[in-house]
Amino acid sequence: MGGSGSVLPRAELSEYQELTFLSKQEILLAYKRFSELLPKEERRDARTARVPKGRILTLPELRANPFQHRICRVFSTSDSGDDSMSFEDFLDMLSVFSDSATSDVKSHYAFRIFDFDDDGTLDRKDLEKLVNCLTGQGEESRLSNAEMEQLIQNILEESDIDKDGTINLSEFQHVVSRSPDFVSSFKIVL
Amino acid sequence: MSGLGAVAEPSGWRLGNRSSEVFLPEEPRAAAPAGFLQELPSYQSALRRRAAGGGTQERRAAPQGSAGLRAAEAGGPEQEGGELPARPAREYPLTIAEKRRLSTFFSWVLNCCPSSVASEAGTAAAAYKDCQQADIKHLSGWKQWKRTSSKSLKKVLSEVKELSSYLKLWRHDIHSIEGKFGTGIQSYFSFLRFLVLLNFIIFIVMFSFVTLPSIISKYGIFNSSFAKIPPKNIEPHCTVYKPNGNKGLVYFYTYLKDLLSGTGFLEVTSLFYGYYTIDAAWFSVLRYNLPLAYLLATFAYLALSLLWIIIRSVEGFKQNLVHDEDQFQSYCNKVFAGWDFCITDPNAAQLKHRSLQYELQTDLEEERLKRKIADRTMKEKLRIYSLRIFINIIVIAVLSGCFYSIYRATVFSQENSSDVGNTNFQANLLVQYLPSIVITLANFIAPQIFSILIGFEDYSPAFEIRLTLMRCVFVRLANIGVLLFSLWSHISYCATDKCKACGYNYELYPCWESEVGQEMYKLMIFDFIIILGVTLFVDFPRKLLVTHCSCKPIQWCGLQEFGISDNVLEIIYGQTICWIGTFFSPLLPAIATVKYFIIFYIKKISLIHTRKPAAKPIRASSSNFFFLVVLLIGLVLAFIPLGISIAHIPSSKACGPFRSFNTSWAVVPDTINGLPTGLQQVLYGIASEAFAVPFFMVICLVMFYFVALAGAHKRVVEQLREQLVLESRDKLFLIRKITEAQSHP
């Protein structure tokens, strides 16, 4: 448990319930886990404190995730660009990854997570980095160049409707809406 | 549309390699090369959509104050007139701070700002306000009340849902399995949970309508009594049934033997059909027609199972139907939905990486193989087809071998277990369990043979897996059918006239339904013992060997994989036995519930400690649908033996609720004849050909219509896609022309 003396006031709790897809229990659990990431002195103001990226990545739910850096980058609202997360960022993240989030919201954020160069489209380099994240770091776990070419060619053939060589948000959302596994795999539950 | 929308993006944009490079890449954000591009309606809406999505640059760069307004401006996807559906704030992909501003903005728009200001703030806000106001204008007292009550109902429902998620059985266990092993294996455990619930509900149905009234009336509680009417027009020798209830002193091991084989003291309990030898039960003055209740409860549990399975599989079916890719899932599904975000364990993550790599490589290889197959010559095709026919003949031979051995084993067991003089405990038990043993052996050996044979048939890997699974399913379910068939041929075998008068072999099987019930009971118990035994005596020693002994062959063998399909087929086999057996043994579902409950824990422990996850994963979506389809096949196959027993084979005259009827089904026409004439005529009308044939034709027409509709939709989607491609090409062409015209005036 630790010394998390502060507790979420009820008004805040119901506001978070309105603004996210999380239930009351889930928000309280998130608060508890978030306060545990803070050093003891800061736990009183858990709602306004920011947790540095390194501490966030020690969470078991993110520790083994190959997209951990992208997730922190996408959900962090830090002005200094250090990808630190406040409690509301954390809640945002859990809300998008929760069971009850709409597929629309999920696919939107998935697009942003996969967009490694943040240019608003998924081009070949993004797709290549994405596949490398999936197969794991390390030389022997990467696909060969020919296989990568073939794979990216297939992906673009299936999802690039206007044939411009990149996948934009609407094309991505269209292809993901037909994907049966997306909603069940794009899920994190504390 | 896409390329143009990216004009204002900082890191430039690129046209498809088809068209020449019209615009320089990495142009700074400030000046778009062609001014008119920003006036295009598609660009405007894309910009609005991106602002609503809060593209990272917009989010970081935008000053805090205006973010809310801009988001509100971008409020809805469709701007051109029409009603704007005001979505709840949480469905916008924004940060919490922005959503907070959005919802305060909306409530401000709604409450205090006049329409003119709202329209300046953006069409979305104005439409939102108009929408809400229009509602308020028309709201009479009734509608207001409806609105508030629906809101509070939604709140109550969400609270109930939250509470019920706590009550879900094994919620925490399944969640931790998901985290460690991924969603494929988790779907197996969810399926197991579903079966526990299904069996429990079936047990409740049978217990409350059949067992409970019988027990109450037999013990005379609540002023009840039962009537045992001796059947008329039946030869007296058919009605003799003296079950050996183990009265008096017997050896202890007889109890054990009886427990394991359902004979002796168990035979006279309410576990088996023979107990329910009641023709009617009286509760004070109410007459409870037990035979009819027995039959209707059977139909009820079958219908309930069918309905529940269909409802659960509708979701997966819709996706499989919509999914128009040919063999397995498309590459996009594998890549975009490939990573299980639920995985928390680094080892599991490592395994997942490897399995994803393997899967992608296999698929790419399969595609190359398909191209190779398309290039096959005639001679090769001939060779391969003749090889496949030969292997299918071998498969059929293996199946016939299995069926024949089961038939012989059943006959042998039936002949020798009626030899009461044999008091050798173990031998007796072995003979009793011989059919179960042979079936289990067949279920184990046949799939191994199939997986070896399929290697020679040179199919694509995806099809290989499917075909092997189908063959294994067929083996398992057909084995039960052969067992029942051999039982029945034995039961209905009549040589003497006396026997023919009863309709079944009254000497050996005075109460044949109890016999069948006992066989099903034995199958179920044996199945459970095998699962327990394999886990204790094969998995754990293997794990001990692998961890402590480091010699090469053992390490190469390694740990067993958790084969999802094998495990699923195992429990579906058990469930089919339960469905068939419940008619003959009404308390069997309770045993099944307890059995699956224990199996959950056994499998969980075995998975965590002794197994490694499969290298070739099965995807969660397809596996859910596949399990339910096979379960449905099992249920439909269970209809056949039940139908034959109920409607074709004469019910035993010595025991059971159907003594006074020719067959078990005969109680239904009998009851109908007791109904008022009007109702009788209606029911006869429904069952006659004059109704059935037109009904069948109408159903065929409706199905044909839906199939045609689905085909038409598919064609429309194809056409729209083509049109989209053509339009975008046209647009690029026109833009090029215009820029050329502009630069050379």
Rounded to a whole number, what is the distance in Å from the CA of B325 to chain A's nearest CA? Answer: 10
Rounded to a whole number, what is the distance in Å from the CA of B296 to chain A's nearest CA? Answer: 39
How far apart are alpha carbons B584 and B575 in whole angstroms?
A: 15
- Selecting from A63, A91, A162 the residue whose C-beta is nearest the C-beta of B1 gives A162
Q: How confident is the model at residue A143 (pLDDT cuts 50, 70, 90)?
A: confident
Pairing relationship of beta strands A85-86 and B611-612 according to DSSP bridges: unpaired
Contacts of B335 in chain A (CB under 8 A): 127, 130-131, 134, 151, 155
**Least confident interval from B81-85, B503-507, B738-742:** B81-85
For B272, left (φ over 0), alpha (ψ -120 to 50), or beta?
Answer: beta
pLDDT of residue B320: 63
- Selecting from A79, A114, A161 the residue whose C-beta is nearest the C-beta of B724 gives A161
Highest mean pLDDT among A143-157, B414-428, B502-516, B692-706: B692-706
Asked whether residue B205 carries a pLDDT value surpassing 90, the answer given is yes
What average pLDDT is seen over chain B? Answer: 77
pLDDT of residue B74: 40
3-state secondary structure (DSSP) of residue A120? coil
Contacts of A108 in chain B (CB under 8 A): 53, 93
pLDDT of residue B595: 95
Residue bearing tokens 């059918």: B481
Pairing relationship of beta strands B560-561 and B280-283 according to DSSP bridges: unpaired
Closest CA to B188 of B683, B677, B620: B620
- Angle at B194 (CA atoms; ends B211, B566), nearest 5 degrees: 110
Q: How far is CA B170 from CA A5, A25, B189, B193, B600, in A?
A: 32, 18, 9, 8, 10
- Neighbouring-strand partners of residue B280: B227
Closest CA to A44 of A86, A6, A100: A6
Residue bearing tokens 């509680």: B221
User: Are B68 and B108 spatial neighbours (Cβ–Cβ below 8 Å)?
Assistant: no
Asked whether residue B515 carries a pLDDT value surpassing 90, the answer given is no
pLDDT of residue B92: 83
How far apart are alpha carbons B178 and B180 in whole angstroms?
A: 6
3-state secondary structure (DSSP) of residue A66? coil
Interchain contact A134–B (C-beta under 8 A): yes
Give the 3-state secondary structure percentages of chain A, helix then strand then coil, rounded to 5.
Answer: 60, 5, 40
Q: How confident is the model at residue B299 (pLDDT cuts 50, 70, 90)?
A: very high
Mind listing the pLDDT tens digit for each residue in A118-130?
888 899 999 999 9
- Selecting from B99, B345, B353 the residue whose C-beta is nearest the C-beta of A141 gives B353
DSSP 8-state assignment for residue B16: -
What count of CB pairs under 8 Å joins A to B?
A: 222
Interchain contact A113–B (C-beta under 8 A): no
pLDDT of residue B621: 55
Select the more confidently predicted residue: B598 or B53.
B598
With an 8 Å Cβ cutoff, are A119 and B11 in contact?
yes
Asked whether residue B79 carries a pLDDT value surpassing 60, the answer given is no
With an 8 Å Cβ cutoff, are B331 and A151 in contact?
yes
pLDDT of residue B592: 95
pLDDT of residue B367: 83
Enter the tokens of residue A123: 């081009």
Residue type at B293 in one-letter notation: A
Cβ neighbours, 10 Å, residue B255: 14
Q: How confident is the model at residue B627 (pLDDT cuts 50, 70, 90)?
A: confident
Q: How confident is the model at residue B693 (pLDDT cuts 50, 70, 90)?
A: very high
How far apart are alpha carbons B334 and B143 in whole angstroms?
A: 48
- Selecting from A61, A136, A186 the residue whose C-beta is nearest the C-beta of B357 gives A136
- How much of chain B exceeds pLDDT 70, in percent? 78
Asked whether residue B198 carries a pLDDT value surpassing 90, the answer given is yes
- Selecting from A88, A91, A110 the residue whose C-beta is nearest the C-beta of B336 gives A110
B413-418: average pLDDT? 76
Asked whether residue B685 carries a pLDDT value surpassing 90, the answer given is no
With an 8 Å Cβ cutoff, are B337 and A143 in contact?
no
pLDDT of residue B706: 95
Cα torsion at B242, B243, B246, B252 (round to 10°)? 150
B694-698: average pLDDT? 94
Q: How far is CA A47 from CA A51, B128, B682, in A?
A: 11, 32, 71
Rounded to a whole number, what is the distance in Å from the CA of A52 to chain B's nearest CA? Answer: 18
Rounded to a whole number, what is the distance in Å from the CA of A101 to chain B's nearest CA? Answer: 8
B67-76: average pLDDT? 39
Pairing relationship of beta strands A50-51 and A85-86 according to DSSP bridges: antiparallel
With an 8 Å Cβ cutoff, are B330 and A158 in contact?
yes
Residue B413's contacts (CB-CB under 8 Å, 6 or more residues apart) are B431, B432, B434, B435
DSSP 8-state assignment for residue B182: -
B726-733: average pLDDT? 79
Determine the distance from the C-alpha atom of residue B588 to the mean position of all C-alpha atoms in its chain, rounded to a whole number: 22
* Burial category of A68 from C-beta neighbours within 10 Å (exposed 0-12, middle 13-18, buried 19 and up): middle
Residue B61's contacts (CB-CB under 8 Å, 6 or more residues apart) are none
With an 8 Å Cβ cutoff, are B335 and A24 in contact?
no
pLDDT of residue B20: 33
**Least confident interval from B109-118, B193-202, B629-638:** B109-118
Asked whether residue B195 carries a pLDDT value surpassing 90, the answer given is yes
How far apart are alpha carbons B54 and B65 in whole angstroms?
A: 14
User: Are B273 and B658 spatial neighbours (Cβ–Cβ below 8 Å)?
Assistant: no
A135-140: average pLDDT? 80
Asked whether residue B561 carries a pLDDT value surpassing 90, the answer given is no
Closest CA to B258 of B60, B432, B387, B103: B432
Rounded to a whole number, what is the distance in Å from the CA of B201 to chain A's nearest CA? Answer: 28
Asked whether residue B549 carries a pLDDT value surpassing 60, the answer given is yes
How far apart are alpha carbons B404 and B409 in whole angstroms?
A: 8
Nearest chain A alpha carbon to B63: A79
B262-280: average pLDDT? 83
Nearest chain B alpha carbon to A161: B725
How far apart are alpha carbons B679 and B681 in whole angstroms?
A: 5
Asked whether residue A13 carries a pLDDT value surpassing 70, the answer given is yes
Select the more confidently predicted residue: B366 or A57.
A57
Contacts of A27 in chain B (CB under 8 A): none
* Burial category of B345 from C-beta neighbours within 10 Å (exposed 0-12, middle 13-18, buried 19 and up): middle
Residues in chain B: 745
Helix (H), strand (E) at residue B560: strand B560-561
With an 8 Å Cβ cutoff, are A118 and B57 in contact?
yes
Closest CA to B450 of B470, B426, B430: B470
pLDDT of residue B551: 76
The sign one gets for the Cα dihedral B415, B416, B419, B425 is: negative
Highest mean pLDDT among A19-23, A174-178, B168-172, B301-305: B301-305
Asked whether residue A4 carries a pLDDT value surpassing 50, the answer given is no
pTM, to two decimals: 0.71
Contacts of A168 in chain B (CB under 8 A): 1-2, 5-6
On the CB side of A21, CA atoms within 13 Å amount to 22
DSSP 8-state assignment for residue B488: H
Residue type at A101 in one-letter notation: A
Q: How far is CA A17 from CA A11, A91, A106, B100, B462, in A?
A: 10, 10, 18, 12, 44
Select the more confidently predicted residue: B623 or B357.
B357
pLDDT of residue B723: 87
Interchain contact A114–B (C-beta under 8 A): yes
With an 8 Å Cβ cutoff, are A110 and B333 in contact?
no
Select the more confidently predicted residue: B222 or B651.
B651
- How much of chain B exceeds pLDDT 90, in percent? 17
**Best mutation site among A84, A163, A189 for testing chain B: the one with the most B CBs within 10 Å?**
A163
User: Are B210 and B586 spatial neighbours (Cβ–Cβ below 8 Å)?
Assistant: yes
Asked whether residue B212 carries a pLDDT value surpassing 50, the answer given is yes
Mind listing the pLDDT tens digit for each residue in B586-600?
999 999 999 999 999
pLDDT of residue B115: 59
- Selecting from A24, A134, A168 the residue whose C-beta is nearest the C-beta of B338 gives A134
Cβ neighbours, 10 Å, residue A78: 17
Mind listing the pLDDT tens digit for each residue in A84-109?
888 888 999 999 999 888 888 999 99
Closest CA to B573 of B466, B481, B467: B481
With an 8 Å Cβ cutoff, are B91 and A88 in contact?
no
Mind listing the pLDDT tens digit for each residue in B138-158?
556 788 888 888 888 888 887
User: Are B340 and A181 spatial neighbours (Cβ–Cβ below 8 Å)?
Assistant: no
3-state secondary structure (DSSP) of residue B226? strand
User: Are B596 and B192 spatial neighbours (Cβ–Cβ below 8 Å)?
Assistant: yes
Select the more confidently predicted residue: B683 or B161.
B683
Residue type at B69 in one-letter notation: L
pLDDT of residue B283: 80
pLDDT of residue B635: 93
Asked whether residue B215 carries a pLDDT value surpassing 80, the answer given is yes
Q: How confident is the model at residue B5 (pLDDT cuts 50, 70, 90)?
A: very low
What are the φ/ψ torsions at residue A51 (nearest 5 degrees)? -100, 130
pLDDT of residue B591: 94
Among residues 14-73 of chain A, which lie with CB inside 8 Å of chain B? Answer: 15-16, 18-21, 23-25, 60-61, 63-67
With an 8 Å Cβ cutoff, are B16 and A64 in contact?
no
Pairing relationship of beta strands B611-612 and B280-283 according to DSSP bridges: unpaired
pLDDT of residue B707: 94
Contacts of A104 in chain B (CB under 8 A): 91, 93
What are the φ/ψ torsions at residue B224 (nearest 5 degrees)? -110, 165
Contacts of A103 in chain B (CB under 8 A): none
Q: How confident is the model at residue B524 (pLDDT cuts 50, 70, 90)?
A: very high
3-state secondary structure (DSSP) of residue A7? coil
How far apart are alpha carbons B422 and B417 in whole angstroms?
A: 9
